[in-house]
Amino acid sequence: MSADKSERIYVSGPSVTDLEIQYVAEAARTAWFDKAGVFNSRFEKAFADYVGVPFAASLPSCTSGLHLSLAALGVGPGDEVIVPDLTWIASAAPISYVGATPVFADVDPDTWCLSAESFASCITPRTKAVIPVDLYGGLPDYDAILAVAEAFGIPVIEDAAEALGSQWRGLKAGSLGRTGVFSFHGSKTMTTGEGGMLVTGDEKLFARVQFLRDHGRIPGDVSFVNAEVAFKYKMSALQAAFGLGQIERIEELIAKKRKIFSWYSKRLGGVPGLTLNAEPEGVLNSYWMVTVVLDASLGLPKAELMRLFKERNIDTRPFFSPLSSIPAYAETEQGRLAAKRNTESYALAPWGLNLPCGLDMTEAKAERVCTTLFDILHARTGR
C-alpha cells in the first residue's frame, strides 16, 4: 500500500495561547528567592476554587499524588488497596510503592469505570483504601461506591487524572473522595507539560501531604533537620505559571472537548457494533478521550485497527489492557485471581480504541476519522 500523503491527525494535543506564554515569561523573570512560590500559590488557589475544595498541592505528576495520598493515609505493607483492572498502571503502581497489594476489581460494562458490586466483593479485613478511576473523563456510580466505602470505613482516593471538568450530580470530579488527584501530562485537557495536583477537603490530611512532599520537613524549618524520610514532590514555578493560564481557560478547553465528542457522536452514535463513551443521567463527561469500542463480532481487535488507521496517517491509542494481564502484575496472586474474575474488563479491552481528540481537532478532521473507520469496517465486513 502506498504511503498516505494526507495531513497527519494526532491523537491528542494541547491548546496554548499567549496567556500561558506571558505567565511563564513572568515566572522566569520573577519567581525566585522570596517570590519563588507565588505562581504555585496562585495556581493552587485557582485550581482548588474550580474543583470546589479548600486545599490543593501542585505536584510533578498525578502518580506522585496517588503516592502521597496513600502515604498520608498510612497505607503500607500488609495492606490491600482496591483499584479497577481497566486503567493505566499509574493508578496501581503507587500501591506497590508503599508496599501494599493492589487488588484488581472489575468495571461496569457501560461506564468502563469501577463496578461498585465488584469493589464490595473484593473487600477483605486488609482493605485500607479504594482508588476509583474516572476513565477517559467518565465517572463510576459514585453514590454506590461511596456507600460501600462508608459502610466498611474505607477511604476513597479519586483518580481524576483524566476527568478535569467532569461532574457527578453537580460535584466536580476530584472532589468526591478523601483526596482527588489530577494529571497535567501533555495529552490532558489542561497541561503543564508534566505535572499533577492533589486536592482535599481534609485539613489534617493536607498538612500531612505537605509535610511528606517536602522531604519530611516541619513547616517553617530552616535548619534542614528532617523529621522523617519522605519525598520530593513539588512543581516548578514555570509549570505552575503555565498551569495558571490553563486553569483560567478551563471552561473553554472543556467546551472544546465536548464539542469534539459531539462531532463523533453525530456520525458514530447509534451505529450498530460501535459504542462510544457513556454519559449517564447525573453525569457531565468532559470526554478527555473519545473512545469507541467495537463489537467482537466485527473481528477487528484494537492492534489491527490501530495499524489500519496508521496506514491512513491517523494516530490512535489502544483502550487500556487489564492490569492483571500485563507483565508487571500478571504473575502475582492478585493478577491471577483478577484474570479469572473480571469478565467485563477482559471483554472490553481487546476491542477499544481512543480516537483523535486533541484540542487542535476540527469537524473536518473528525469527519475524516469517521469516514476512515467506516471504510475499514466496510472492507472487513462488506457493510
What is the value of pTM for the model shown? 0.96
Cell of 116: 461498585
Quote the crossing angle between the two packed helices 250-268 and 237-248, to the nearest 10°.
60
State which of 233, 248, 263 marks the end of a domain. Answer: 248
Q: Does 226 share its domain with 294?
A: no
- 34 and 234 in contact (C-beta within 8 Å)? no
Q: Does 175 share its domain with 305?
A: no
CATH number, domain containing residue 275 = 3.90.1150.10
> How far apart are alpha carbons 364 and 362 in whole angstroms?
5
Domain membership flag for residue 26: yes
Domain membership flag for residue 11: no
Q: Does 28 share its domain with 140?
A: yes
Domain membership flag for residue 80: yes
Q: Does 235 share its domain with 350?
A: no
Q: Does 183 share its domain with 44?
A: yes
Domain span including residue 293? 251-381
- 287 and 112 in contact (C-beta within 8 Å)? no
Task: Note down pLDDT in tens along the chain; length 383 residues.
Answer: 445 668 999 999 999 999 999 999 999 999 999 999 999 999 999 999 999 999 999 999 999 999 999 999 999 999 999 999 999 999 999 999 999 999 999 999 999 999 999 999 999 999 999 999 999 999 999 999 999 999 999 999 999 999 999 999 999 999 999 999 999 999 999 999 999 999 999 999 999 999 999 999 998 888 899 999 999 999 999 999 999 999 999 999 999 999 999 999 999 999 999 999 999 999 999 999 999 999 999 999 999 999 999 999 999 999 999 999 999 999 999 999 999 999 999 999 999 999 999 999 999 999 999 999 999 999 887 66
> How far apart are alpha carbons 313 and 10 in whole angstroms?
9
Domain membership flag for residue 12: no
Q: Does 95 share its domain with 55?
A: yes
Domain membership flag for residue 100: yes
Q: Does 97 share its domain with 235?
A: yes
Domain membership flag for residue 150: yes
Q: Does 35 share its domain with 152?
A: yes
Q: Does 337 share its domain with 357?
A: yes
> How many structural domains does the chain have?
2
Domain membership flag for residue 201: yes
Q: Does 163 share its domain with 281?
A: no
